[in-house]
Amino acid sequence: MAGEAAVAVGLGAFVEEYSTQRVNELIHLYRRLQQLRRRILQEVEEEAGEDVAEIIPNIVTAIRQYATEIEEVLAELRRLGADPMKASLESAVEEYAEVLRLDIPVGGGKTLEDLLYESRDEVLDKLHEIMMALYMEYVEINEKCDHGCPPEAAQKLEKLATLELATYAIYKLFQKQKIDKKTAVTALNEIVDEILSE
């Protein structure tokens, strides 16, 4: 019986514990990045108030403010053998591909796809356009970054990252009724154009 107990707790223990520990270390660091992102977004949202034109400059400032903390996390990720830029890009491609399947339930037995066909919500339409534009760009850049990102691709990623944060900030301002629908749609429209520009 003791033998069976040993097998139950010991078989596969090393490989499982080793990989769990590694995944946990990575998850912890990604959670830390997520917390920093949330703080940045919160600050951007508070400082922008009703002025959407302030969002992008505020994002750039906030990222600079948190640069040291972000760098520390990135250094830790690299120490564990991860390539943070490649990992972020690959996960963005996967996440957008998943969301753009449009089968996410949105309540009331409906999916995001149903909502897009049935509603006449201009903000939702613009968000869909942005998701598509980002997905198209990320897929393209991901191919270019197969063996390390060339400088122009890295530069484009930086721009897209800022625009992605700006999209969320605009959406939150609209949700909290700090800006009206027309302002939100105009701002989101400019973001799509910017994503798809050179």
Partner 1 sequence: MIRFLDVGYLINCKHKIKQEDKLVVTICVLKVIRHKIKKGLYFFLEKFEIIKDFVKNYYSTISGKRRRRSPKKIAKKMVQLLELKGYADVAFLFRVIARYYIRDLEEHTEKTWLRSSSKVTPINYIVYLYNYFKKQKNYLVFPDKVVNSIRKELQQNNIEIAEIDDKELWLDLDSGTDREDRYQLLCIKKYMRNNGIPEARFLTTDHRLPDTAQPFENIKVEVVDCQA
Paired strand residues for 105: 111
Length of the chain: 198
Of 160, 108, 159, the closest CA to residue 135 belongs to 160
The first and second tokens of residue 70, run together, are 């972000």
Interface with partner 1 includes 124 (CB under 8 A)? no
139 touches partner 1 by CB under 8 A: yes
Q: Which is nearer to partner 1, 74 or 132 (CB)?
A: 132
Task: Report if residue 90 touches partner 1, rule: CB under 8 A.
Answer: no
3-state secondary structure of 1: coil
Name which position in 132, 154, 162, 194 contacts partner 1 (CB under 8 A). 132
Q: How far apart are CA 73 and CA 3, in angstroms?
A: 43
Choose, by CB under 8 A, the member of 69, 125, 190, 194 that binds partner 1. 125
- Kindly give the interhelix angle for 181-196 and 122-144, rounded to the nearest 10 degrees: 20
113 binds partner 1 (CB under 8 A): yes
Positions that interact with partner 1 (CB under 8 A): 97, 100, 102-103, 111, 113-114, 116-118, 120, 125, 128-129, 132-133, 135-136, 139-140, 143, 192-193, 196-198
